[in-house]
Amino acid sequence: MALITKYFSDFTDVQLQQFSALEELYNDWNSKINVISRKDMESLYEKHVLHSLAIAAAFEFKAGSTIVDLGTGGGFPGIPLAIFYPEVKFHLIDSIGKKIKVVDAVAEGLGLKNVSTRHSRIEEVKDKKFDFVVSRAVAPLKDLWKWSKPLLKKPAPNADTQQPGLICLKGGDLHTEIAESGCRPRVMEVYDIFQEEYFKEKFLLYVPA
Which positions make up the binding site? 71, 76, 122-123, 136
105 in Cβ contact with 31 (< 8 Å): no
Mean pLDDT value across the chain? 93
Which positions make up the binding site for S-adenosyl-L-methionine? 71, 76, 122-123, 136
d(CA 171, CA 3): 20
Containing structural domain, residue 83: 2-208
- Of the candidates 207, 150, 152, the residue with the CA atom closest to the CA atom of residue 174: 207
Q: What is the pLDDT of residue 159?
A: 63
CATH of the domain at 86: 3.40.50.150
Greatest alpha-carbon span in the chain? 49
Q: What is the pLDDT of residue 125?
A: 85
Residue 90 pairs in a beta bridge with: 67, 115
Tens digit of each residue's pLDDT (9 = 90 or more) over 143-191:
999 999 999 998 877 666 679 999 999 999 999 999 999 999 999 999 9
**What is each CA distance from 126 to 22, 25, 88, 137, 148, in whole angstroms?**
32, 32, 21, 23, 11
Q: What is the pLDDT of residue 22?
A: 96
- Single pTM value for the model: 0.95
Structural domains in the chain (count): 1
d(CA 107, CA 113): 8
Burial label for 9, CB within 10 Å (0-12, 13-18, 19+), is exposed
